[in-house]
Structure 1
Amino acid sequence: MTTFLMFYQEIGPGLTALVILTFLLAGAVKGTIGLGLPTVAMGLLGLAMPPAQAAALLIVPSTLTNLWQLASGGHLLVLMRRLGGLLLMIFVGTLLGSAWLGIDNGPWASHALGGALLVYALLGLLGRGLQVPAAGEKWLGPLCGLLTGVVTAATGVFVLPAVPYLQGLGLGRDELIQALGLSFTVSTLALAVGLAGQGALGGQALGASLLALAPAVLGMLAGQWLRGRISALLFRRCFFVGLALLGCHLLLNG
Protein backbone atom coordinates (compact mmCIF):
# COMPACT_ATOMS: atom_id res chain seq x y z
CA MET A 1 0.00 0.00 0.00
CA THR A 2 2.92 2.30 0.70
CA THR A 3 4.08 1.90 -2.91
CA PHE A 4 0.60 2.83 -4.11
CA LEU A 5 0.57 6.02 -2.04
CA MET A 6 4.20 7.04 -2.54
CA PHE A 7 3.50 9.00 -5.73
CA TYR A 8 0.75 11.04 -4.07
CA GLN A 9 2.90 11.65 -1.00
CA GLU A 10 5.61 13.02 -3.26
CA ILE A 11 3.38 15.35 -5.30
CA GLY A 12 1.53 16.72 -2.26
CA PRO A 13 -2.15 17.39 -1.48
CA GLY A 14 -2.64 20.09 -4.13
CA LEU A 15 -1.64 17.95 -7.10
CA THR A 16 -3.36 14.91 -5.58
CA ALA A 17 -6.62 16.88 -5.51
CA LEU A 18 -6.02 17.87 -9.16
CA VAL A 19 -5.58 14.20 -10.13
CA ILE A 20 -8.82 13.19 -8.37
CA LEU A 21 -10.86 16.04 -9.87
CA THR A 22 -9.34 15.46 -13.31
CA PHE A 23 -10.33 11.79 -13.42
CA LEU A 24 -13.80 12.56 -12.06
CA LEU A 25 -14.29 15.07 -14.89
CA ALA A 26 -12.64 12.88 -17.53
CA GLY A 27 -14.76 9.89 -16.49
CA ALA A 28 -17.92 12.02 -16.63
CA VAL A 29 -17.10 13.16 -20.16
CA LYS A 30 -16.48 9.58 -21.27
CA GLY A 31 -19.69 8.38 -19.62
CA THR A 32 -21.67 11.09 -21.41
CA ILE A 33 -20.29 10.98 -24.97
CA GLY A 34 -18.32 7.71 -25.08
CA LEU A 35 -14.83 9.21 -25.36
CA GLY A 36 -12.60 11.89 -23.88
CA LEU A 37 -11.06 10.31 -20.77
CA PRO A 38 -7.41 10.33 -21.91
CA THR A 39 -7.90 13.59 -23.79
CA VAL A 40 -9.26 15.47 -20.76
CA ALA A 41 -6.83 13.77 -18.37
CA MET A 42 -3.76 14.57 -20.48
CA GLY A 43 -4.93 18.14 -21.08
CA LEU A 44 -5.56 19.02 -17.43
CA LEU A 45 -2.70 17.06 -15.89
CA GLY A 46 -0.39 18.45 -18.55
CA LEU A 47 -0.86 21.87 -16.94
CA ALA A 48 0.89 20.71 -13.77
CA MET A 49 3.17 17.75 -14.59
CA PRO A 50 5.27 16.35 -17.46
CA PRO A 51 3.25 14.53 -20.16
CA ALA A 52 5.06 11.23 -19.48
CA GLN A 53 3.94 11.33 -15.84
CA ALA A 54 0.38 12.25 -16.84
CA ALA A 55 0.29 9.46 -19.45
CA ALA A 56 1.41 6.88 -16.87
CA LEU A 57 -1.45 7.91 -14.57
CA LEU A 58 -4.13 7.26 -17.19
CA ILE A 59 -3.04 3.70 -18.12
CA VAL A 60 -5.21 1.75 -15.65
CA PRO A 61 -8.33 4.01 -15.73
CA SER A 62 -8.23 4.23 -19.52
CA THR A 63 -7.70 0.49 -20.03
CA LEU A 64 -10.47 -0.66 -17.69
CA THR A 65 -13.07 1.93 -18.72
CA ASN A 66 -12.37 1.16 -22.38
CA LEU A 67 -12.77 -2.57 -21.74
CA TRP A 68 -16.07 -1.74 -20.03
CA GLN A 69 -17.14 0.22 -23.11
CA LEU A 70 -15.82 -2.50 -25.41
CA ALA A 71 -17.78 -5.27 -23.67
CA SER A 72 -21.19 -3.89 -24.65
CA GLY A 73 -22.65 -3.81 -28.14
CA GLY A 74 -22.40 -7.34 -29.52
CA HIS A 75 -20.34 -6.37 -32.59
CA LEU A 76 -16.84 -7.18 -31.32
CA LEU A 77 -15.82 -9.93 -33.76
CA VAL A 78 -17.20 -8.08 -36.79
CA LEU A 79 -15.40 -4.88 -35.77
CA MET A 80 -12.13 -6.67 -35.08
CA ARG A 81 -12.17 -8.10 -38.61
CA ARG A 82 -13.14 -4.81 -40.21
CA LEU A 83 -10.71 -2.68 -38.17
CA GLY A 84 -7.82 -5.16 -38.03
CA GLY A 85 -5.47 -3.03 -40.15
CA LEU A 86 -6.22 0.11 -38.15
CA LEU A 87 -5.69 -1.62 -34.80
CA LEU A 88 -2.48 -3.36 -35.84
CA MET A 89 -0.93 -0.14 -37.13
CA ILE A 90 -2.01 1.81 -34.03
CA PHE A 91 0.07 -0.63 -31.99
CA VAL A 92 2.99 -0.58 -34.43
CA GLY A 93 2.88 3.21 -34.79
CA THR A 94 2.84 3.73 -31.03
CA LEU A 95 5.87 1.51 -30.51
CA LEU A 96 7.75 3.14 -33.40
CA GLY A 97 6.77 6.59 -32.15
CA SER A 98 7.90 5.73 -28.62
CA ALA A 99 11.29 4.64 -29.91
CA TRP A 100 11.60 7.64 -32.24
CA LEU A 101 9.95 10.44 -30.26
CA GLY A 102 8.57 9.33 -26.90
CA ILE A 103 6.89 11.49 -24.28
CA ASP A 104 9.79 13.15 -22.52
CA ASN A 105 9.95 16.00 -20.03
CA GLY A 106 10.96 18.63 -22.56
CA PRO A 107 8.69 21.58 -23.41
CA TRP A 108 8.06 20.30 -26.96
CA ALA A 109 5.90 17.48 -25.56
CA SER A 110 3.51 19.95 -23.88
CA HIS A 111 3.35 22.03 -27.07
CA ALA A 112 2.60 18.89 -29.10
CA LEU A 113 -0.13 17.91 -26.66
CA GLY A 114 -1.66 21.38 -26.91
CA GLY A 115 -1.59 21.24 -30.69
CA ALA A 116 -3.28 17.83 -30.76
CA LEU A 117 -6.01 19.00 -28.38
CA LEU A 118 -6.63 22.16 -30.41
CA VAL A 119 -6.89 20.31 -33.74
CA TYR A 120 -9.28 17.76 -32.26
CA ALA A 121 -11.43 20.48 -30.69
CA LEU A 122 -11.65 22.47 -33.93
CA LEU A 123 -12.67 19.35 -35.88
CA GLY A 124 -15.37 18.69 -33.29
CA LEU A 125 -16.68 22.27 -33.36
CA LEU A 126 -16.72 22.45 -37.16
CA GLY A 127 -18.65 19.19 -37.27
CA ARG A 128 -17.37 18.29 -40.71
CA GLY A 129 -17.00 14.56 -40.54
CA LEU A 130 -14.82 12.45 -42.79
CA GLN A 131 -16.65 10.18 -45.23
CA VAL A 132 -14.66 6.99 -45.77
CA PRO A 133 -15.44 5.13 -49.02
CA ALA A 134 -15.67 1.36 -48.64
CA ALA A 135 -12.97 0.88 -51.28
CA GLY A 136 -10.56 3.07 -49.30
CA GLU A 137 -10.78 1.25 -45.98
CA LYS A 138 -8.01 -1.24 -46.81
CA TRP A 139 -5.33 1.46 -47.15
CA LEU A 140 -6.82 4.38 -45.23
CA GLY A 141 -7.41 2.35 -42.05
CA PRO A 142 -3.77 1.24 -41.64
CA LEU A 143 -2.53 4.76 -42.53
CA CYS A 144 -4.78 6.36 -39.92
CA GLY A 145 -3.66 3.71 -37.44
CA LEU A 146 0.02 4.45 -38.04
CA LEU A 147 -0.50 8.21 -37.68
CA THR A 148 -2.64 7.73 -34.57
CA GLY A 149 0.09 5.61 -33.02
CA VAL A 150 2.76 8.25 -33.62
CA VAL A 151 0.51 10.99 -32.17
CA THR A 152 -0.26 8.75 -29.18
CA ALA A 153 3.43 8.14 -28.52
CA ALA A 154 4.24 11.86 -28.70
CA THR A 155 1.27 13.29 -26.78
CA GLY A 156 -0.64 10.55 -24.94
CA VAL A 157 -3.81 11.53 -26.87
CA PHE A 158 -5.44 8.67 -28.80
CA VAL A 159 -8.00 10.50 -30.89
CA LEU A 160 -6.26 11.74 -34.05
CA PRO A 161 -6.89 10.70 -36.72
CA ALA A 162 -8.54 7.47 -35.50
CA VAL A 163 -11.75 9.05 -34.15
CA PRO A 164 -12.61 11.04 -37.33
CA TYR A 165 -11.84 7.90 -39.36
CA LEU A 166 -14.15 5.71 -37.24
CA GLN A 167 -16.88 8.36 -37.36
CA GLY A 168 -16.60 8.35 -41.15
CA LEU A 169 -17.30 4.62 -41.53
CA GLY A 170 -21.07 5.02 -41.22
CA LEU A 171 -21.31 2.75 -38.17
CA GLY A 172 -24.44 2.62 -36.04
CA ARG A 173 -24.35 4.31 -32.64
CA ASP A 174 -23.67 1.12 -30.66
CA GLU A 175 -21.13 -0.07 -33.22
CA LEU A 176 -19.31 3.27 -33.10
CA ILE A 177 -19.12 3.32 -29.30
CA GLN A 178 -17.77 -0.23 -29.31
CA ALA A 179 -15.31 0.59 -32.10
CA LEU A 180 -14.03 3.58 -30.13
CA GLY A 181 -13.58 1.38 -27.06
CA LEU A 182 -11.64 -1.15 -29.17
CA SER A 183 -9.39 1.51 -30.68
CA PHE A 184 -8.73 3.20 -27.34
CA THR A 185 -7.96 -0.13 -25.65
CA VAL A 186 -5.31 -0.97 -28.23
CA SER A 187 -3.88 2.58 -28.00
CA THR A 188 -3.69 2.43 -24.20
CA LEU A 189 -1.96 -0.96 -24.14
CA ALA A 190 0.50 0.15 -26.81
CA LEU A 191 1.20 3.36 -24.88
CA ALA A 192 1.81 1.32 -21.72
CA VAL A 193 4.39 -0.79 -23.58
CA GLY A 194 6.02 2.36 -24.95
CA LEU A 195 6.15 4.04 -21.53
CA ALA A 196 7.57 0.90 -19.93
CA GLY A 197 10.28 0.86 -22.59
CA GLN A 198 11.18 4.45 -21.64
CA GLY A 199 11.29 3.56 -17.93
CA ALA A 200 8.24 5.75 -17.19
CA LEU A 201 5.89 2.98 -16.04
CA GLY A 202 7.33 1.29 -12.98
CA GLY A 203 5.55 -0.12 -9.94
CA GLN A 204 5.02 3.29 -8.34
CA ALA A 205 3.43 4.74 -11.47
CA LEU A 206 1.15 1.71 -11.90
CA GLY A 207 0.09 1.92 -8.26
CA ALA A 208 -0.75 5.60 -8.65
CA SER A 209 -2.67 4.82 -11.86
CA LEU A 210 -4.65 2.07 -10.12
CA LEU A 211 -5.77 4.48 -7.41
CA ALA A 212 -6.91 6.94 -10.11
CA LEU A 213 -9.37 4.29 -11.31
CA ALA A 214 -11.89 5.00 -8.52
CA PRO A 215 -12.63 8.65 -9.45
CA ALA A 216 -12.65 7.72 -13.15
CA VAL A 217 -15.31 5.03 -12.61
CA LEU A 218 -17.38 7.32 -10.37
CA GLY A 219 -17.19 10.03 -13.02
CA MET A 220 -18.18 7.59 -15.77
CA LEU A 221 -21.23 6.44 -13.82
CA ALA A 222 -22.20 10.08 -13.26
CA GLY A 223 -21.75 10.78 -16.96
CA GLN A 224 -23.98 7.87 -17.93
CA TRP A 225 -26.65 9.21 -15.57
CA LEU A 226 -26.21 12.69 -17.04
CA ARG A 227 -26.42 11.46 -20.64
CA GLY A 228 -30.19 11.21 -20.66
CA ARG A 229 -30.78 14.47 -18.81
CA ILE A 230 -28.96 17.09 -20.87
CA SER A 231 -28.64 17.99 -24.53
CA ALA A 232 -25.86 15.89 -26.05
CA LEU A 233 -25.19 18.62 -28.63
CA LEU A 234 -24.77 21.33 -25.96
CA PHE A 235 -22.51 19.11 -23.89
CA ARG A 236 -20.31 18.30 -26.89
CA ARG A 237 -19.99 21.98 -27.78
CA CYS A 238 -18.98 22.91 -24.22
CA PHE A 239 -16.54 20.02 -24.19
CA PHE A 240 -14.85 21.07 -27.45
CA VAL A 241 -14.72 24.77 -26.49
CA GLY A 242 -13.05 23.91 -23.20
CA LEU A 243 -10.66 21.56 -24.98
CA ALA A 244 -9.76 24.27 -27.50
CA LEU A 245 -8.95 26.75 -24.73
CA LEU A 246 -6.86 24.16 -22.93
CA GLY A 247 -5.05 23.27 -26.13
CA CYS A 248 -4.27 26.93 -26.87
CA HIS A 249 -2.81 27.39 -23.39
CA LEU A 250 -0.55 24.34 -23.69
CA LEU A 251 0.43 25.18 -27.25
CA LEU A 252 1.45 28.74 -26.36
CA ASN A 253 2.87 28.25 -22.87
CA GLY A 254 4.00 24.63 -22.82
Structure 2
Amino acid sequence: MTSFAIARFAAITLTFLIAGTVKGVTGMGLPTVAMGVLGTLMLPAEAASLLILPSFVTNVWQLVAGPRLGALLRRFWLMMAGIVIGTVAAASFIAGSGGVWAVTGLGAALTLYAASGLLSWHFSVAPRHERHLSPVIGVVTGLVTGGTGVFVVPAVPYLQALDLKKEDLVQALGLSFTVSTVALAIGLARENAFALNNIASSLFAVIPALLGMWIGQRIRGRISPTTFRRWFFICMLALGLQLLLRRFI
Protein backbone atom coordinates (compact mmCIF):
# COMPACT_ATOMS: atom_id res chain seq x y z
CA MET A 1 0.00 0.00 0.00
CA THR A 2 1.44 3.38 -1.03
CA SER A 3 1.82 6.32 1.35
CA PHE A 4 -0.96 8.11 -0.55
CA ALA A 5 -3.32 5.15 -0.11
CA ILE A 6 -2.49 4.96 3.60
CA ALA A 7 -3.14 8.69 4.05
CA ARG A 8 -6.45 8.41 2.15
CA PHE A 9 -7.49 5.40 4.24
CA ALA A 10 -6.67 7.28 7.46
CA ALA A 11 -8.52 10.41 6.32
CA ILE A 12 -11.68 8.46 5.45
CA THR A 13 -11.57 6.52 8.72
CA LEU A 14 -11.11 9.64 10.86
CA THR A 15 -13.76 11.57 8.92
CA PHE A 16 -16.47 8.97 9.42
CA LEU A 17 -15.47 8.42 13.05
CA ILE A 18 -15.96 12.15 13.71
CA ALA A 19 -19.13 12.28 11.58
CA GLY A 20 -20.59 9.29 13.43
CA THR A 21 -19.75 10.87 16.79
CA VAL A 22 -21.55 14.07 15.80
CA LYS A 23 -24.61 12.04 14.77
CA GLY A 24 -24.46 10.07 18.01
CA VAL A 25 -24.57 13.29 20.04
CA THR A 26 -26.99 15.37 17.96
CA GLY A 27 -29.02 12.79 15.99
CA MET A 28 -27.89 14.29 12.68
CA GLY A 29 -24.87 15.61 10.82
CA LEU A 30 -23.11 12.52 9.46
CA PRO A 31 -23.48 13.33 5.72
CA THR A 32 -22.89 17.02 6.40
CA VAL A 33 -19.62 16.43 8.24
CA ALA A 34 -18.49 13.75 5.80
CA MET A 35 -19.18 15.90 2.74
CA GLY A 36 -17.66 18.97 4.38
CA VAL A 37 -14.38 17.28 5.30
CA LEU A 38 -14.03 14.92 2.32
CA GLY A 39 -15.03 17.74 -0.03
CA THR A 40 -11.70 19.40 0.79
CA LEU A 41 -9.82 16.22 -0.18
CA MET A 42 -11.66 14.81 -3.19
CA LEU A 43 -14.39 15.57 -5.72
CA PRO A 44 -17.92 15.86 -4.25
CA ALA A 45 -19.14 12.90 -6.35
CA GLU A 46 -16.46 10.65 -4.86
CA ALA A 47 -17.24 11.87 -1.34
CA ALA A 48 -20.97 11.32 -1.93
CA SER A 49 -20.32 7.76 -3.11
CA LEU A 50 -18.39 7.03 0.08
CA LEU A 51 -21.16 8.25 2.37
CA ILE A 52 -23.99 6.22 0.78
CA LEU A 53 -23.79 3.10 2.97
CA PRO A 54 -22.71 4.77 6.27
CA SER A 55 -25.53 7.28 5.86
CA PHE A 56 -28.06 4.60 4.96
CA VAL A 57 -27.17 2.29 7.87
CA THR A 58 -27.07 5.02 10.54
CA ASN A 59 -30.25 6.69 9.29
CA VAL A 60 -32.21 3.44 9.12
CA TRP A 61 -31.08 2.82 12.70
CA GLN A 62 -32.51 6.23 13.63
CA LEU A 63 -35.64 5.70 11.52
CA VAL A 64 -36.75 2.33 12.91
CA ALA A 65 -36.04 3.30 16.52
CA GLY A 66 -39.13 5.52 16.64
CA PRO A 67 -42.71 4.35 17.21
CA ARG A 68 -44.63 6.23 14.49
CA LEU A 69 -43.07 5.31 11.16
CA GLY A 70 -46.40 4.53 9.48
CA ALA A 71 -48.00 7.80 10.55
CA LEU A 72 -44.96 9.82 9.45
CA LEU A 73 -44.90 8.08 6.07
CA ARG A 74 -48.55 8.96 5.49
CA ARG A 75 -47.93 12.54 6.58
CA PHE A 76 -44.73 13.21 4.62
CA TRP A 77 -44.99 11.00 1.53
CA LEU A 78 -45.34 14.00 -0.78
CA MET A 79 -42.18 15.52 0.68
CA MET A 80 -40.32 12.21 0.28
CA ALA A 81 -41.50 11.91 -3.33
CA GLY A 82 -40.22 15.42 -3.98
CA ILE A 83 -36.83 14.54 -2.49
CA VAL A 84 -36.49 11.56 -4.82
CA ILE A 85 -37.51 13.54 -7.91
CA GLY A 86 -35.23 16.47 -7.12
CA THR A 87 -32.22 14.36 -6.17
CA VAL A 88 -32.31 12.09 -9.21
CA ALA A 89 -32.86 15.09 -11.49
CA ALA A 90 -29.89 17.02 -10.06
CA ALA A 91 -27.43 14.14 -9.60
CA SER A 92 -25.77 14.84 -12.94
CA PHE A 93 -24.47 18.10 -11.44
CA ILE A 94 -22.47 16.51 -8.63
CA ALA A 95 -21.55 13.55 -10.84
CA GLY A 96 -19.62 15.68 -13.29
CA SER A 97 -21.47 18.27 -15.33
CA GLY A 98 -21.24 20.82 -12.51
CA GLY A 99 -17.48 20.54 -12.25
CA VAL A 100 -15.93 22.85 -9.67
CA TRP A 101 -19.31 24.52 -9.18
CA ALA A 102 -20.39 21.43 -7.26
CA VAL A 103 -17.67 22.26 -4.71
CA THR A 104 -18.90 25.86 -4.56
CA GLY A 105 -22.47 24.66 -4.11
CA LEU A 106 -21.37 22.35 -1.32
CA GLY A 107 -19.66 25.26 0.40
CA ALA A 108 -22.75 27.45 0.02
CA ALA A 109 -25.02 24.73 1.46
CA LEU A 110 -22.73 24.16 4.46
CA THR A 111 -22.37 27.90 5.07
CA LEU A 112 -26.14 28.47 4.98
CA TYR A 113 -26.77 25.50 7.26
CA ALA A 114 -24.12 26.62 9.76
CA ALA A 115 -25.35 30.22 9.75
CA SER A 116 -28.94 29.13 10.40
CA GLY A 117 -27.76 27.04 13.34
CA LEU A 118 -25.54 29.72 14.86
CA LEU A 119 -28.21 32.41 14.47
CA SER A 120 -30.93 30.04 15.76
CA TRP A 121 -33.24 30.82 12.87
CA HIS A 122 -36.66 29.45 13.67
CA PHE A 123 -40.03 29.81 12.02
CA SER A 124 -43.35 28.04 12.26
CA VAL A 125 -45.47 26.47 9.55
CA ALA A 126 -49.23 26.46 10.07
CA PRO A 127 -50.84 23.03 9.55
CA ARG A 128 -53.00 24.39 6.72
CA HIS A 129 -49.88 25.18 4.67
CA GLU A 130 -48.12 21.85 5.19
CA ARG A 131 -49.75 19.93 2.32
CA HIS A 132 -48.73 22.61 -0.19
CA LEU A 133 -45.25 23.27 1.22
CA SER A 134 -44.11 19.67 1.79
CA PRO A 135 -43.67 18.67 -1.89
CA VAL A 136 -41.94 21.98 -2.66
CA ILE A 137 -39.55 21.56 0.28
CA GLY A 138 -38.94 17.98 -0.86
CA VAL A 139 -38.03 18.97 -4.42
CA VAL A 140 -35.74 21.80 -3.25
CA THR A 141 -34.06 19.49 -0.74
CA GLY A 142 -33.60 16.94 -3.51
CA LEU A 143 -32.04 19.52 -5.84
CA VAL A 144 -29.59 20.54 -3.11
CA THR A 145 -28.85 16.88 -2.32
CA GLY A 146 -28.29 15.98 -5.95
CA GLY A 147 -26.10 19.03 -6.50
CA THR A 148 -24.00 18.96 -3.33
CA GLY A 149 -24.51 15.69 -1.41
CA VAL A 150 -25.86 17.63 1.62
CA PHE A 151 -29.30 16.51 2.82
CA VAL A 152 -30.15 19.16 5.41
CA VAL A 153 -31.26 22.27 3.49
CA PRO A 154 -34.14 23.12 3.64
CA ALA A 155 -35.57 19.85 5.02
CA VAL A 156 -34.22 20.19 8.57
CA PRO A 157 -35.44 23.77 9.20
CA TYR A 158 -38.80 22.88 7.67
CA LEU A 159 -39.35 19.79 9.84
CA GLN A 160 -38.29 21.77 12.90
CA ALA A 161 -40.83 24.44 11.97
CA LEU A 162 -43.69 21.93 12.19
CA ASP A 163 -43.36 21.75 15.99
CA LEU A 164 -43.27 17.97 16.02
CA LYS A 165 -42.79 16.10 19.27
CA LYS A 166 -39.13 15.32 19.94
CA GLU A 167 -39.47 11.61 19.10
CA ASP A 168 -41.44 12.35 15.94
CA LEU A 169 -38.90 14.98 14.84
CA VAL A 170 -35.97 12.58 15.27
CA GLN A 171 -37.81 9.86 13.34
CA ALA A 172 -38.95 12.29 10.62
CA LEU A 173 -35.35 13.44 10.18
CA GLY A 174 -34.29 9.80 9.91
CA LEU A 175 -36.96 9.25 7.25
CA SER A 176 -35.88 12.29 5.26
CA PHE A 177 -32.19 11.38 5.43
CA THR A 178 -32.84 7.74 4.52
CA VAL A 179 -34.89 8.68 1.46
CA SER A 180 -32.26 11.26 0.48
CA THR A 181 -29.51 8.65 0.75
CA VAL A 182 -31.35 6.11 -1.40
CA ALA A 183 -32.27 8.77 -3.95
CA LEU A 184 -28.66 9.98 -4.11
CA ALA A 185 -27.44 6.42 -4.68
CA ILE A 186 -29.97 6.02 -7.51
CA GLY A 187 -28.98 9.36 -9.02
CA LEU A 188 -25.24 8.63 -8.85
CA ALA A 189 -25.73 5.13 -10.28
CA ARG A 190 -27.81 6.60 -13.10
CA GLU A 191 -24.87 8.90 -13.90
CA ASN A 192 -22.37 6.01 -13.62
CA ALA A 193 -20.80 7.68 -10.56
CA PHE A 194 -21.68 4.92 -8.08
CA ALA A 195 -20.82 1.40 -9.13
CA LEU A 196 -19.85 -1.91 -7.57
CA ASN A 197 -16.26 -0.81 -7.01
CA ASN A 198 -17.55 2.05 -4.81
CA ILE A 199 -19.46 -0.32 -2.55
CA ALA A 200 -16.35 -1.79 -0.85
CA SER A 201 -15.04 1.64 0.19
CA SER A 202 -18.49 2.77 1.29
CA LEU A 203 -19.01 -0.47 3.22
CA PHE A 204 -15.70 -0.01 5.03
CA ALA A 205 -16.76 3.51 6.07
CA VAL A 206 -19.75 2.01 7.92
CA ILE A 207 -17.41 0.66 10.62
CA PRO A 208 -15.95 3.97 11.86
CA ALA A 209 -19.36 5.63 11.41
CA LEU A 210 -21.07 3.12 13.72
CA LEU A 211 -18.18 3.30 16.19
CA GLY A 212 -18.50 7.08 16.16
CA MET A 213 -22.25 6.85 16.78
CA TRP A 214 -21.62 4.60 19.76
CA ILE A 215 -19.04 7.05 21.13
CA GLY A 216 -21.38 9.98 20.55
CA GLN A 217 -24.24 8.28 22.36
CA ARG A 218 -21.92 7.55 25.30
CA ILE A 219 -20.77 11.17 25.63
CA ARG A 220 -24.18 12.74 24.92
CA GLY A 221 -25.08 12.97 28.59
CA ARG A 222 -21.65 14.20 29.67
CA ILE A 223 -21.46 17.44 27.68
CA SER A 224 -23.75 20.35 27.08
CA PRO A 225 -25.70 19.73 23.83
CA THR A 226 -25.90 23.49 23.30
CA THR A 227 -22.14 23.93 23.52
CA PHE A 228 -21.51 20.92 21.30
CA ARG A 229 -23.92 22.15 18.64
CA ARG A 230 -22.39 25.64 18.71
CA TRP A 231 -18.91 24.30 18.01
CA PHE A 232 -20.31 21.90 15.42
CA PHE A 233 -21.87 24.80 13.52
CA ILE A 234 -18.67 26.87 13.84
CA CYS A 235 -16.66 24.03 12.29
CA MET A 236 -19.24 23.59 9.52
CA LEU A 237 -19.13 27.35 8.85
CA ALA A 238 -15.34 27.24 8.52
CA LEU A 239 -15.50 24.26 6.16
CA GLY A 240 -18.30 25.84 4.14
CA LEU A 241 -16.50 29.15 3.70
CA GLN A 242 -13.29 27.36 2.71
CA LEU A 243 -15.13 25.41 0.00
CA LEU A 244 -17.20 28.41 -1.08
CA LEU A 245 -14.18 30.69 -1.51
CA ARG A 246 -11.86 28.07 -3.04
CA ARG A 247 -12.97 29.01 -6.56
CA PHE A 248 -12.21 32.70 -6.00
CA ILE A 249 -8.80 32.58 -4.30
Give 2:134's aligned residue.
141
Distance (Å, rounded) in 2 between the aligned partners of 1:166 and 1:133: 12
What is the CA deviation profile of residues 154-200 of structure 1, one whole-angstrom value per residue up to 9, with x for unaligned ones? 00000000000000111111111110000000000000000001111
Distance (Å, rounded) in 1 between the aligned partners of 2:111 and 2:185: 24
* Cα contact 2:94–2:149 (8 A) shared by 1: no
Which of 85, 107, 120 aligns to 1:92? It is 85
Q: What is the correspondence of 1:75-224 to structure 2 with a 5 Å cutoff?
A: 75-99=68-92, 101-104=93-96, 106-224=99-217
SS of equivalent to 1:201: coil
Distance (Å, rounded) in 2 between the aligned partners of 1:130 and 1:90: 21
- TM value normalised by structure 2: 0.96
CA drift of 1:103 comes to 3.3
Distance (Å, rounded) in 1 between the aligned partners of 2:163 and 2:143: 25
What is the CA deviation profile of residues 31-69 of structure 1, one whole-angstrom value per residue up to 9, with x for unaligned ones? 100100000000000011000000000000000100000
Distance (Å, rounded) in 2 between the aligned partners of 1:18 and 1:185: 25
Distance (Å, rounded) in 2 between the aligned partners of 1:10 and 1:154: 32
* Cα contact 1:103–1:155 (8 A) shared by 2: no
- TM value normalised by structure 1: 0.94
What is the CA deviation profile of residues 193-242 of structure 1, one whole-angstrom value per residue up to 9, with x for unaligned ones? 00001111111111110011000000000011111110000000000000
Aligned length: 246
Closer/same/farther in 2, CA of residues 10 and 58 from structure 1, 3 Å limit:
farther
Closer/same/farther in 2, CA of residues 94 and 9 from structure 1, 3 Å limit:
farther
Closer/same/farther in 2, CA of residues 64 and 10 from structure 1, 3 Å limit:
farther
Closer/same/farther in 2, CA of residues 10 and 78 from structure 1, 3 Å limit:
farther
Q: What is the correspondence of 1:46-57 to structure 2 with a 5 Å cutoff?
A: 46-57=39-50
* Cα contact 2:95–2:193 (8 A) shared by 1: no
CA drift of 1:9 comes to 6.9
Q: Counterpart of 2:208 in structure 1: which amino acid?
A: P
Identity over aligned pairs, percent: 50
* Cα contact 2:35–2:47 (8 A) shared by 1: yes
* Cα contact 1:50–1:110 (8 A) shared by 2: yes
Distance (Å, rounded) in 2 between the aligned partners of 1:236 and 1:190: 28
Q: Are 2:57 and 1:64 equivalent residues in the alignment?
A: yes
SS of equivalent to 1:132: coil
Q: Are 2:18 and 1:25 equivalent residues in the alignment?
A: yes
Q: Counterpart of 1:136 in structure 2: which amino acid?
A: H
SS of equivalent to 1:228: helix
SS of equivalent to 1:130: coil
RMSD of Structure 2 on Structure 1 (CA)? 1.4
Name structure 2 gaps, 5 residues minimum: none
* Cα contact 2:62–2:171 (8 A) shared by 1: yes
* Cα contact 1:43–1:246 (8 A) shared by 2: yes
CA drift of 1:11 comes to 5.5
* Cα contact 1:93–1:147 (8 A) shared by 2: yes
